[in-house]
Amino acid sequence: MKRTEQLEKTRAAILRTATRLFLQKGFAQTSTRDIAKEIGITQPALYHHFSDKEVLFLSVMTDFSGKVRADINKVLRKHKLSPEEQLFEIVKVLKKHHPISIYDQYNQAMQLLSKSAQRKFNMIFVMDYLIPIGEYFKQPEFNLRADLLPKEAAELFLASLTPVFGTYQVIGGQAITNDQRTKLIIDCIVNGLKRTPKEEII
């Protein structure tokens, strides 16, 4: 194998492994030593491709978040879905890509990154998460309250989704499926915790 081919293969392995570890463990709990060890290379070999952990993290998130945005946009193009169904499909996209809370990961990384890296990561988060999810809240069918901007609604929604990414809060009891639990959480986020007028009549 030519050296250039070997370098390309190693770079791809670094990105693939780093993506999995960053998503599973977060920025703080993932080291370049962990990544290099899993691939079977040395840290200096990893640094030949990425000068430091921040550069690698931003490369991973740029590529990964673009795929998330593409999947969210596919859902937004499904006009036959009701607003409730569309929002559930968006959350399914987020759960498919993220094993742990997106908002927790974002805030943890923002506390540890340099100022320059913070700006770049925030731009990724806004472009690939807040803006596409904000497009959902722009739809007249959703009827967003007047004192919230769509991007603000998207951020509040993502921040409220933490119970979806784990089982430590057994919402809805044991008798419902994961999809039913996710729909219940989404309904509580969007519509609140009060009974609806219809439920009060019953």
196 located within any domain: no
Q: Residue 30 corresponds to which amino acid?
A: T
C-alpha torsion angle, residues 83, 85, 89, 90 (rounded to 10): 20
Q: Do 103 and 170 belong together in one domain?
A: yes
Cα–Cα separations (whole angstroms), residue 156 to 105, 137, 159: 15, 11, 5
Q: Do 12 and 92 belong together in one domain?
A: no
Task: Quote the pLDDT of residue 3.
Answer: 78
Task: Give me the CATH number covering residue 182.
Answer: 1.10.357
Domain that holds residue 73: 53-191
Task: Quote the pLDDT of residue 169.
Answer: 64
198 located within any domain: no
Q: Which of 29, 50, 71 is the last residue of a domain?
A: 50
Find the radius of gyration of the CA atoms of the chain. 20
Mean pLDDT by 10 residues, the chain (202 residues): 86 97 96 97 96 98 97 95 95 95 94 98 98 96 94 96 77 80 92 70 44
Q: Do 63 and 124 belong together in one domain?
A: yes
Q: Do 34 and 91 belong together in one domain?
A: no
Task: Quote the pLDDT of residue 177.
Answer: 87
Q: Do 85 and 178 belong together in one domain?
A: yes
CA gap 56, 54 in Å, rounded: 5
Q: Do 109 and 134 belong together in one domain?
A: yes
199 located within any domain: no
pTM: 0.90
Number of domains, the chain: 2
CA gap 114, 12 in Å, rounded: 25
